Structure 1
């Protein structure tokens, strides 16, 4: 059997200006080896775990290169100013990747470790890598909340439904939410999925039919705009009213390529960073957000690290708003 790889975090990835006190993220991050996940009473913990793999993207006929995404995001995060409270710890647990085509064992390890992070009171932030990581991410959240008898929802900022059927029985970057639907169905759990930013040219009619059959909520790109924030907020209110907790998934290809050129499936259309941040702020204030992933960064096609910086800013903004609303 092909081996799943875990790579310890590289402290040299975290760089930035020198300061006598903690002023920047690179100073606040603590790198932990060997995926040794532990709890610490009274300490709030943000866990960074990378998924340095793009086999799922290859299977879905996308542009490979997303396996370099987690390192690129970390490099941009390191120099950001740090504004979180002193009792919040930032813990980097390194990257999970695969050898050759061994995608499913990597998903299993990612699921197990994300579950452990939740159980040990971390807020997981998963850095991709292909969007197939959302299957492992969502499976972990589903298992964790099922044990607590709490309902579960997914909010996905994306141009695509990612509800595609398996290919030759195997998952890929276009199938994670259909896989989660089937997993929930097998466990007699309700499936609540809301996708914001759907672009019709990127989703054939079959996927709209699957979305209807799975009870998926969505907003088209034409409606997912700043000028329509009132309706967006109403829809979010209605969705959040159905669940106890939600996981957030941000596919960077949902942004216009003017903001995010370095992705697996770029588009000149898409939503703006300003709108995405309004959604992040709303979710932080809801007190229902349990975890987050940012996926599909492809540094090979990035320009002046614009996409990596955008991903880093999304992570920083959500973390800051999450703990400023307590």
Structure 2
């Protein structure tokens, strides 16, 4: 069972009617079946994958920082919103934490909720995917599950030696092969300077839809939007994962690996809206917020805005 700490949910209260903020509406969710289906926030407090990937630690504090950034935002959702607590990775026990995350995500989905997972390093992706795959596999043995990752990195490193925040999508590709599922993966915002030739070759071999950061401009946005829509059409279900290091360092300084270029919020938002409005989105997670390096809380605020965007419907 995840630990639930509601102390982050504090903020102002306005006297005008219909002026709810997140902290006034959110409720604790101990058991997935105990309340009506709604949006369920679930933390994954882990640094283990980042440390194994030789990154700077601190992402384990990300879930609470994201809650604090969300707490005072205006709430425009009509449906229920829950805090399902945190899954903690103790020490280097990454694999067991990912399994626990998968079990919890699967239970939330089985209960009719929309899970939104708050990382944690991008090792969160493998645990998130495990939960969605477990849920879908009970219903459709041949499902076409698409992964859309906004990220400066492929995270396709070979997991044979060590599993880390740099390996989740390679692990997922292996799992898909074992299950007989197609591997549908789109990675948008990739930095060529931050990914080796070997990683680009692996992405090509796996049929990954790749759009580099320099391609994601205002002039090229419509083309990328059409490409993304074609990717979505080939999928039955979608898992959206957002690594905050896809944003420029000026917008997201509080990550393990700040981006020298990145893709600004103004270009990410219309693409995320396409995913949100597809009717196929089943799960979203956010990764790599590191509060220790977050100047003026910029990264947490940017992430909170994106969470607000993803969850506007409902």
Residue 120 in structure 1 maps to residue 115 in structure 2:
no
1:194-224, CA deviations, whole angstroms, 9 ceiling, x for partnerless residues? 0000110100000011111111111011112
Distance 2:2 2:205 in 1: 40
Q: CA deviation at 1:7?
A: 5.4
Distance 1:176 1:276 in 2: 22
Residue 17 in structure 1 maps to residue 12 in structure 2:
yes
Distance 2:146 2:2 in 1: 30
Question: Structure 2 residue aligned with 1:152, among 141, 145, 163?
Answer: 145
Distance 1:99 1:188 in 2: 33
Distance 1:217 1:183 in 2: 19
Equivalent in the alignment of 2:25: 28
Question: Structure 1 residue aligned with 2:203, among 196, 199, 211?
Answer: 211
Distance 1:165 1:306 in 2: 32
TM-score (norm 1): 0.92
* Counterpart contact for 2:37–2:111, Cα < 8 Å: no
* Counterpart contact for 1:181–1:191, Cα < 8 Å: yes
Distance 2:276 2:257 in 1: 28
Q: CA deviation at 1:44?
A: 4.2
Residue 49 in structure 1 maps to residue 42 in structure 2:
yes
Equivalent in the alignment of 2:92: 101
Q: CA deviation at 1:141?
A: 1.5
* Counterpart contact for 1:65–1:300, Cα < 8 Å: yes
Equivalent in the alignment of 1:246: 238
* Counterpart contact for 2:99–2:130, Cα < 8 Å: no
Q: CA deviation at 1:284?
A: 1.7
Question: Structure 2 residue aligned with 1:70, among 63, 68, 71?
Answer: 63
Change (3 A) 1:39 1:9: closer
Q: CA deviation at 1:19?
A: 3.9
Distance 1:285 1:118 in 2: 19
Distance 2:37 2:2 in 1: 24
Gaps of 5+ in 2: none
Question: Structure 1 residue aligned with 2:184, among 188, 192, 198?
Answer: 192
Q: CA deviation at 1:12?
A: 1.8
* Counterpart contact for 2:245–2:288, Cα < 8 Å: yes
Change (3 A) 1:185 1:284: same
Moved over 3 A (4+): 19-22
Q: Which moved more, 1:53-62 or 1:209-218?
A: 209-218
TM-score (norm 2): 0.95
1:151-177, CA deviations, whole angstroms, 9 ceiling, x for partnerless residues? 200000000000001263x31000000
Equivalent in the alignment of 1:223: 215
* Counterpart contact for 1:145–1:151, Cα < 8 Å: no
Equivalent in the alignment of 1:3: none
Distance 1:229 1:112 in 2: 37
* Counterpart contact for 1:8–1:32, Cα < 8 Å: no
- How many residue pairs get aligned? The number is 310
Distance 2:267 2:134 in 1: 31
Gaps of 5+ in 1: 1-5
1:292-322, CA deviations, whole angstroms, 9 ceiling, x for partnerless residues? 00100000000110000111111011101x3
Distance 2:218 2:285 in 1: 23
Change (3 A) 1:7 1:189: closer
* Counterpart contact for 1:52–1:95, Cα < 8 Å: yes
The 5-angstrom pairing of residues 231-310 of structure 1 reads 231-310=223-302
Equivalent in the alignment of 1:38: 33
Equivalent in the alignment of 1:163: 156
